């Protein structure tokens, strides 16, 4: 499957669609989810054309992988979630209902999140 350059997150990265930006660095861009599933729900996306976790792990340079995961912890800290806790989620493929084919990690927090799955 080829990367779709017109997926929603690619358009957000290019500034073609507005978003509520939370954080940005050389490797990653983070913004509030349009349909929050928790009081704090932010999406972190790498600045590169990666469809999902498997594509990212297979093809992203090591510096990008480290930079991206560092950005997740920075965003969580910026959201004030480091002490209270939070969950990261990344959906890969149909059974996980991945709806946007640009690799992304959800950061969810701001309340007790309960069990892993509903």
Active site residues: 104
Cβ closest to ligand 5GP, residue 62 vs residue 117: 117
Which among 29-37, 53-61, 64-72, 73-81 is the span making contact with ligand 5GP, rule CB under 6 A? 29-37
* Region binding ligand 5GP by CB under 6 A among candidate stretches 64-72, 78-86, 94-102, 107-115: 94-102
56 exposed, middle or buried (CB, 10 Å; 0-12, 13-18, 19+)? buried
Q: Report if residue 98 touches ligand 5GP, rule: CB under 6 A.
A: yes
**Residue 102: CA count within 13 A, CB half-sphere:** 20
- Using CB under 6 A, which of 10, 13, 19, 81 touches ligand 5GP? 19
User: Which of these ranges, 26-34, 62-70, 75-83, 109-117, lies near ligand 5GP under the rule CB under 6 A?
Assistant: 26-34
CA pair distance 83, 100, nearest whole angstrom: 30
Spell out a b/e string for 93-105, using b for 16 or more CB atoms within 10 Å of the CB, else e. Answer: eeeeebebbbbbb
Q: Which two tokens stand for residue 29?
A: 């861009």
Subset of residues 36 to 75 that bind ligand 5GP, contact rule: CB under 6 A: 43
């Amino acid at each position: 499957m080829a990367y779709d350059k017109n997926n929603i997150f690619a358009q957000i990265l290019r500034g073609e669609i507005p978003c509520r930006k939370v954080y940005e660095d050389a490797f990653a861009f983070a913004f509030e989810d349009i349909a929050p599933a928790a009081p704090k729900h932010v999406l972190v996306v790498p600045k590169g054309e990666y469809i999902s976790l498997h594509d990212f792990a297979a093809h992203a340079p090591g510096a990008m992988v480290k930079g991206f995961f560092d950005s997740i912890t920075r965003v969580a800290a910026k959201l004030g979630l480091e002490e209270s806790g939070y969950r990261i989620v990344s959906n890969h493929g149909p059974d996980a209902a991945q709806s946007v084919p640009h690799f992304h990690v959800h950061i969810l927090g701001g309340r007790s999140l309960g069990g892993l799955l509903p």
